[in-house]
Amino acid sequence: MHLGPLFAAACAVVEILAPPALAVWVLATLRTGERSGLVGAGAWAPIIGAGLFVLAWSIEQAARAIGLPPERWLEGWHGQALAIAAISAATLPAVCEEVVRFASAVWLFRSPRTRMHPLILSAPFAIGWGALECIRAGVQTLHDVHVSAPGSVWLPELPVLQLIERFFALLLQLALSGAAAQAAQSRREGRALALFSTAVGVHLAIDAIARAIALPAARSLEAGDLVRALQRYALMELVFGVLAGAAFLTAMTRLRPSEATPPAA
């Protein structure tokens, strides 16, 4: 096997093993469940997060099965048609995921028994939520390596870009889950609704912008223009990273611990 496939396989193994290891480290280091007493921050939080992601994904797939969004909206490659395709493709996952995330947060984080920052409180849940997508991408890469024909052209940069994308996607999941935890603990319905609306908008906007760059990149790759494809994918990761990082920093500075006082021991 040539260096390219071996390198891709190594990156895939990292993608598969890193999320569980990170979840264990976060639970052991931050002790979120012990400090808060909330099921959404305890040892089961990563598994709950992963399961709820599957639920959101299943709802999304069911919507696609009945023709949402219409296929003709997803066929653009240039100009206004590309913008429509990117927004249409991003809307369904953004809405499905945030509805499930915020609805489940009411059960997972409702009792405000801690002064922990919402980002820290929801970190195990967020890691579990993002873990399946990371593992899925790693498994898909291993499958591609396994079925690739001898002599196939591999760009070693693409697996690295995929790893970088997973890191930035985790930052975005942390920000969105922190907003959901804050909304669940908020005493004001207007504040909770504003957080939900903001999360949907941020999720949709970042995803749509990334897709608007990724769609032409995928077409370049299919056409065999590897240099152009690599340039476009690199640009996508740069833009996605900046936006996801900005969302995380905003959540870190704007979200606040619960106003409630922890109960006396």
Residue 139 token pair: 């498994």
CA 149 to chain centre: 32
**If the chain, 265 residues long, is cut into consecutive pieces of 10 residues, what is the mean pLDDT of each piece?**
72 91 92 84 94 96 92 81 93 97 93 80 95 89 76 72 93 97 90 96 98 92 87 96 98 82 43
State yes or no: cis peptide before 257, omega within 30 of 0.
no
Task: Please report the pLDDT score of residue 95 as a whole number.
Answer: 97
- Residue 96: the pLDDT is 97
Q: How far apart are the first and last CA of the chain?
A: 61
Return the pLDDT at 253. 95
How many angstroms separate the CA atoms of 226 and 55, rounded?
36
Nearest to 26 by CA among 11, 39, 45, 12: 45
Whole-number pLDDT of residue 6: 82
Q: What is the pTM of this model?
A: 0.91
Label residues 188-221 b or e (16+ Cβ within 10 Å = b).
Answer: eeeebeebbebbbebbbebbbbbbbbbbbbeebb
Contact yes or no for 81/156 (Cβ under 8 A) = no
pLDDT at 261: 44
Q: Is the dihedral of CA 78, 84, 89, 93 positive or negative?
A: positive
On the CB side of 58, CA atoms within 13 Å amount to 7
Phi/psi at 66 (nearest 5 deg)? Answer: -100, 10
| Per-residue pLDDT, 264 | 41
Element (H, E) at 245: helix 226-254
CA 139/CA 174 separation, integer angstroms? 23
Cβ neighbourhood burial of 149 (10 Å; 0-12, 13-18, 19+): exposed
